[in-house]
């Protein structure tokens, strides 16, 4: 199975400051069609996960523009330009290219 490694695992951030989460995969997620099959999900406290970013850099419906995804191959990054209180939760990357899908360990973002 593909191993997904996130860092950091804990991310305290001051409101209004930027935040960045790294995700690395043990195999390339770049498919022959040019798309990277890497998603980002946010699980808010007590809630089900929600899709933020799909195919590496595409925002899901309703996701604010201050949240962005980038990267290719095996290295990916989720960036929040200005953290708000509503961004608190656990962020997971997930590869969707190789069966079975596999998730990173999760990064807990908290407000300082």
Partner 1 sequence: EVQLVESGGGLVQPGGSLRLSCSASGFTFSSFAMHWVRQAPGKGLEYLSVISSNGSITYYADSVKGRVTISRDNSKNTLYLQMNSLRAEDTAVYYCVKPWAPKGFSFDYWGQGTLVTVSS
Residues forming contacts to partner 1 in the complex (CB under 8 A) are 37, 39, 41, 43, 48-51, 54-55, 60-61, 92, 94, 96-97, 99-106
Residue 37 CB, nearest approach to partner 1 (Å): 7
Whole-angstrom Cα distance, residue 80 to residue 60? 15
Nearer to partner 1 (CB atom), residue 32 or residue 48: 48
Residue 96 CB, nearest approach to partner 1 (Å): 4
Three-state secondary structure call for residue 86: helix
Residue 78 CB, nearest approach to partner 1 (Å): 15
Whether 43 contacts 89, CB under 8 Å: yes
Nearer to partner 1 (CB atom), residue 22 or residue 81: 22
Nearer to partner 1 (CB atom), residue 20 or residue 51: 51
Residues in the chain: 112
Whole-angstrom Cα distance, residue 6 to residue 28? 15
Q: H-helix or E-strand containing 58?
A: strand 58-59
The H helix count followed by the E strand count for the chain is 0, 11
Residue 61 CB, nearest approach to partner 1 (Å): 8
Nearer to partner 1 (CB atom), residue 55 or residue 88: 55
């Amino acid at each position: 199975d593909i191993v997904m490694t996130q860092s950091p695992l804990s991310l305290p951030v001051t409101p209004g400051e930027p935040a960045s989460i790294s995700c690395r995969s043990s195999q390339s997620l770049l498919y022959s069609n040019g798309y990277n099959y890497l998603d980002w999900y946010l699980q808010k406290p007590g809630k089900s996960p929600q899709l933020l970013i799909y195919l590496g850099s595409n925002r899901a419906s309703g996701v604010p523009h201050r949240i962005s995804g980038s990267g290719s191959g095996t290295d990916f990054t989720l960036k929040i330009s200005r953290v708000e209180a509503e961004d608190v939760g656990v962020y997971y990357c997930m590869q969707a290219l190789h069966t079975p899908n596999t998730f990173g360990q999760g990064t807990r973002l908290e407000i300082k």
